[in-house]
Amino acid sequence: MFESLSDRLSGVFDKLKKRGALSEADISAAMREVRVALLEADVALPVVKDFIAKVSEKSIGHAILKSVTPGQQVIKIVHDELIAMLGSGEDEADSPGGFGGQTLPLLGVPPVPVLMVGLQGSGKTTSTAKIAKRLSEKDHKRVLMASLDTRRPAAQEQLRVLGEQIGIKTLPVIEGQMAVDIARRAMEAARLQGFDVVMLDTAGRMHVDDDLMREVIAVRDQVKPVETLLVADALTGQDAVSVARSFDERLGITGVVLSRMDGDGRGGAALSMRAITGKPIRLIGTGEKPDALEAFHPSRIAGRILG
């Protein structure tokens, strides 16, 4: 991911670095190229416009243009603005005021519920298992998983099998039980058995559909999750961002898990998600294996893009 964006930007910046002095016109020309590169990487237009405006404003200042290394300074400004665009607020894992290197900010009296939502095929069930494994191994939490997907017959079985593979308990299935009732039962079981976290994997949907949304809202109202994570496929670019926005408008999400960041997508979803939804990318999926999950670090991604 990000390869072609990274190549394009390094082309622009190599030219800037070679020049000793920079005029306003040089900066404007470079910004036009950066704009095209971002749009081609499938970054949302309002995000691109805002980014270019901020970088231009900071670059065209007297001190930058008159400095000994104006090209380097502009690159530093782009770097910092990229981090801001990816999210460098207090709620990210790697910020000083963040949640201390934990996988998720799971505040509250245990067992705390985490609701996983998303479109079918986005990687929701896989991500549920990956997060459960990481919470268990890295954060030493006792985790219970439950599948609330009563629509797809194999879904509950899929989570159980994954649970067995990674050594995480799943709630035993009772045939015919509704999603809200499974969620209630999961919370009761977790309370009785001393679990810290309950991961609730909701039914996927082909698109944002009213029936399923009502079901998830009923579950949310029942368990009051501390985190509601939307799993979105990074390879679907700006579609992933619009899915996140509509889930947020209807349900309220606390963060995003971007799956398939190992694919060779253009990176637009990762780059626009925070700015468009206002919600942090909490974690990224980097493969099919249960360990292929990483914290999202804006500074690392910016470093990868700028080489």
Binding residues for GTP: 118-125, 201-205, 259-262
Nearer to ligand GDP, 140 or 207 (CB): 207
Lay out the site mask for ligand GDP across 164-203 (x = CB under 6 A, - = otherwise): ----------------------------------------
Lay out the site mask for ligand GDP across 77-116 (x = CB under 6 A, - = otherwise): ----------------------------------------
Nearer to ligand GDP, 47 or 148 (CB): 148
Q: Are 247 and 224 spatial neighbours (Cβ–Cβ below 8 Å)?
A: no
Pick from 121, 172, 278, 303 the residue near ligand GDP by CB under 6 A. Answer: 121
Number of residues that bind ligand GDP (CB under 6 A): 17
265 binds ligand GDP (CB under 6 A): no
User: 189 burial class (0-12, 13-18, 19+ CB within 10 angstroms)?
Assistant: middle
285 binds ligand GDP (CB under 6 A): yes
Pick from 204, 225, 280, 298 the residue near ligand GDP by CB under 6 A. Answer: 204
Pick from 35, 124, 133, 282 the residue near ligand GDP by CB under 6 A. Answer: 124
As a three-state string, the secondary structure of 188-239 is HHHHHHCCCEEEEECCCECCCCHHHHHHHHHHHHHHCCCEEEEEEEHHHCHH
Span near ligand GDP by CB under 6 A; candidates 84-92, 122-130, 220-228, 264-272:
122-130
Span near ligand GDP by CB under 6 A; candidates 60-68, 74-82, 238-246, 255-263:
255-263
Beta carbon of residue 234, minimum distance to ligand GDP (angstroms, whole number):
8
291 binds ligand GDP (CB under 6 A): no
Nearer to ligand GDP, 71 or 268 (CB): 268
Pick from 126, 202, 238, 272 the residue near ligand GDP by CB under 6 A. Answer: 126
Beta carbon of residue 262, minimum distance to ligand GDP (angstroms, whole number):
5
Give the binding site for ligand GDP (CB under 6 A).
118, 120-126, 204, 259-260, 262, 285-288, 292
